[in-house]
Structure 1
Amino acid sequence: MTSINPATRLFSRLELNESQLTHQPGSVFSSTALIAGTTVGAGILALPAVTLPSGILPSTVLLILVWLYTLVSGLLIAEVNLNSMRLEGRLSVGFLAMVENTLGKLAAKIAGGAYLFMHYALLVAYMAQGGEILISALTKVGGIPNHLPGWLGTTTFTILFGGIMYWGREKFIAKLNSAFVAIVIASFLGLLLLGTGQVKSVQFLFQDWGAVGSAVSVMLVALFYHNIVPVVVTQLEGDSRKVRQSIVIGSAIPLVMFLAWNAVILGSVNPEMVQKYHHFDPLQILRAGGAGEWLGVLVSIFSEFAIVTSFIGFVYGLVDFFQDVALIRQRGLDQRLPLYSLILLPPMSLGAVNPHIFITALDISGTFSISILGGIIPALMTWKQRQNQDHVHQLLVPGGRVTLMIMIMVALVIMTRQILSMVRF
């Protein structure tokens, strides 16, 4: 067998334009932006609420550890995907196909159930919250009457951004997503500049290491991007070097943003406030500051586009999922309609009926679904794939079986902790 240089691509993406084949290689920048945009979503808005009881230093340490865990997990998925593409001779191998080929049909059904539940639950949250922000902005700017029905925002958000993804070509969506990520970063920097004026240095001294564990599930949700790793691998033509760069940089950008955001918000409030407010909204603290109207505008812009970028990534994840299980073959415009209807209509309907239907379930689904999809299954797939010595495999994660065992054990501990807390409750 001829060895394959790990720094070279596995295939070339060609596109037929006016009777000419043109090479359409994906860029590291676009793939990095897709990962970063998928990661920076509603999770960052909820993060300070769960890290406030522990303090800045404990939550910072935990956030870095959770990022390392999700980074290893993302690289494991990419490793299995690259090897599956090479062994099967396919240009694209989705997550479910990888699970079935390596672990069997039962594992694929478990993974598929967790995958669907998490994606639809998060899409409901994104559509509902994104629609609420959108309608609120329109009432302020466009003079639209207040007290509009809640379903209108969810529906408008879905039609607008779902329609863009339905009609837009992949290259256009990639450029648009990159522009949205730039807006997120710019508005985020503005928020930090305005928010740092309220930071009290004494708050950095507060530490409660015993309370830090309760933030793990939200951190996992906030740092999850693994659904679009197979998409990135295909976009980058199976080039392992580019894939690794995109995953590392694309996940590190949100980490830096989360750390800065967490420090600014926690430095602006007293830990005792968590006892006073059961549902603490950190953004209200910023709006109550002396920055005035500009702060509220930046909060709205940052929140909306952070949700939109995550929305794009999760829709892509479901497109890849349904095409992978061969429910719908996307060969033309007529096949795209049932595919996107299947993806968008169920969460839009649930969000329109009751925007808060999954608020409680998100924490639980994040804990179990992401522990399964981002911890146990990637480790088991890698373990099984590496046992086959008859093929040349691309290794993206060092440490051998010890690393894989740690990944599985951590996921089991997180799930066990959640179960025990539910029983005590």
Structure 2
Amino acid sequence: MRLILLALLLQPSQLFRPPPRQLSRSRLRAVPDEAPGTVLGSAALVAGTTVGAGILALPAKTLAAGLAPTATLLIGGWLFMAATGLLIAEVDLNTACVLDRDAVSINSMAEETLGDAGATAASAVFLFLHYCLLTAYVVQGGQLLGEALGGTDTLAAAPAFAASIGAPAALLPPATVERLNTVLTAGVVASFCYIVAGGISRVDPELLTRADWSAIAPALPVIPVVYVYQTVVPTLCYRLQCDLGAVRRAVLVGLTIPLCMFLAWSVVVLGSTPYVAGESIDPMALARASGDDFGTAILYFSLLAVGTSLLGFATGLVDFFGDLEGLEGDNRPPYLWAAALAPPAAIAAVFGNPSLFFAAVDLAGVYGILVLFGVVPALMAWGSRYGAAALDADEAVPEAVPGGRASLGAIAGFATAIIGLETYGRLGVG
């Protein structure tokens, strides 16, 4: 937090101007002048990527615990996900030096630091994560679209929702799609502000004082989904011209914006929804069912949030397929969009019920994000610092997360422990 305050209060100009080019290391690839970025713009990219459909699953998972445990978990999630994103930035810069590339993917980083087996495993987890989240988003989007249209069946609404996002993305020029996404994102922000401003009057302060710390465990899988943004870290490194300090500021500032939004969101939703012990309650569904202006705002905010998340993760999967086929440029054939969205749409149409959304989010959080953006960054950083892929001291970037081997072990160990606990619970051993 101190770094954020220093960046904002003591050196605000650093947020608005491109960082100086970092060309001191002998093997660092040249960064083109035509693609400079600012810390503020990069922070906005982080924030925009983070805020999405994960916020819709948060209230149902945290209602039983109450505000204080929820706020503690959100702050802890902020620390963990910020650390893993910075580790990816460190590995990105060191890997790009070795490969002499302008930008590198997670797959390239894993291949360089963990070998072919690591790259294969990372690719498999990448596919699993994206299909889990896309399934969750299509299920939820279909349900929301059905509600907006007056009760349309999920069998038709889910594929229609997927097509409403996928068809324009597949058929329109990338620049047009980007502008449409900007409009959707603006709608997310505007509707969120309306909900928070209007929801404050609904808050019962007594509801905010209730706390059950033992009930916070079910929320652990959704926190990684709420904070996932690491796919854009390589883009930050490129835009900010290899300046690790600028990337650090962008990540910390950009991730703090969603933290503040999630805390405000939790105050409004948990403070206006009574908890009944033993009952499974989705505060979002209750609010939408109210039929008043507040419920309508929740509905359209949810639709926009799911839409932007679906577009973002579908684009990531389509780009992954395009890289496998060796396609150049931004244009991707429509069949790649079909490959990304048809399986989730089919699953949602056949098995689409509200519980599938939460199940898919949990799977993505535990076995997707905690592996790919929890364990893997720590292992890659270990290989980049201490393994065969390590650069000489005068060529490697400074440690993005201090603490050496101890901090890397703690990050990987924490993620592994959560995965183990969730697996233990799913197996019903206890």
TM interval, shorter chain, is 0.7 to 0.9
Q: Name segments (4+ residues, structure 1) moved above 6 Å.
A: none
Deviations 1:182-203 (A, max 9, x none): 3212211111122222211122
1:344 to 332, 341, 346: 341
1:100-157 per-residue CA deviation (whole Å, 9 max, x = no partner) reads: 11101222222222211111111112123223323433x3xxxxxx553423322332
- Matched with 1:366 is 365
Change (3 A) 1:260 1:410: same
Aligned mates of 2:404, 2:226 — CA distance in 1: 27
Alignment-derived partner of residue 196 in structure 2: 192
- Provide the C-alpha distance between the structure 1 equivalents of 2:305 and 2:172, rounded to a whole number of angstroms: 20
1:404 to 1:368, Cα distance in 2 relative to 1, 3 A: same
- Equivalent position of 1:281 in the other structure: 282
**C-alpha displacement of 1:231:** 3.8
5 Å-filtered alignment, 1:82-97, equals 82-97=93-108
Query: Match of 1:97, as an amino acid?
Result: S
| Percent identity of paired positions between Structure 1 and Structure 2 | 37
1:156 aligns with 2:157: no
Using a 3 Å threshold, how does the CA distance of structure 1 residues 121 and 360 change in structure 2: closer, same or farther?
same
Tell whether the 8 Å contact from 1:52 to 1:274 is kept in structure 2 after alignment. Answer: no
Residues 318, 242 of structure 1: alpha-carbon distance in 2 compared, 3 angstrom cutoff: farther
Q: How does 1:11-90 map to 2 (within 5 A)?
A: 11-12=31-32, 23-26=34-37, 28=39, 31-90=42-101
Q: Structure 2: where are the runs of 5+ without partners?
A: 1-20
The size of the alignment, in residue pairs, is 400
Give the distance between the partners of 1:96 and 1:262, measured in 2 at CA. Answer: 35
2:401 maps to 1:400 = no
- 1:377 offset after TM fit, Å? 0.7
Q: Is the 8 A contact 1:134 1:157 kept in 2?
A: yes
Structure 2 equivalent of residue 4 of structure 1: 23
Deviation of 1:70 (Å): 0.5
The C-alpha deviation readout for 1:331-387, integer Å capped at 9, x for no partner, is: 585x53343232222222322333245642431342122221121110010111112
For structure 1, the residue ranges without an aligned partner over 5 or more in a row are 14-22, 140-145
Instruction: Note if 1:125 corresponds to 2:123.
Output: no
- In the superposition, the TM-score normalised over structure 2's length comes to 0.83
Distance 1:112 1:151, change over 3 A: same
Secondary structure of the structure 1 residue equivalent to 2:102? coil
Change (3 A) 1:31 1:340: farther
Moved more, 34-43 or 46-55: 34-43
Q: Which amino acid aligns with 1:133?
A: L
Q: CA deviation at 1:39?
A: 2.0
Does the 8 A contact of 2:78 with 2:227 survive in 1? Answer: yes
Mapping 1:199-238, distance limit 5 Å: 199-238=203-242
1:162-186: per-residue Cα shift (whole Å, max 9, x none)? 2333345555444443433332122
Letter in 1 for 2:345: M
1:165 is paired with a residue whose SS is helix
CA–CA separation in structure 2 for the residues paired with 1:33 and 1:307: 19
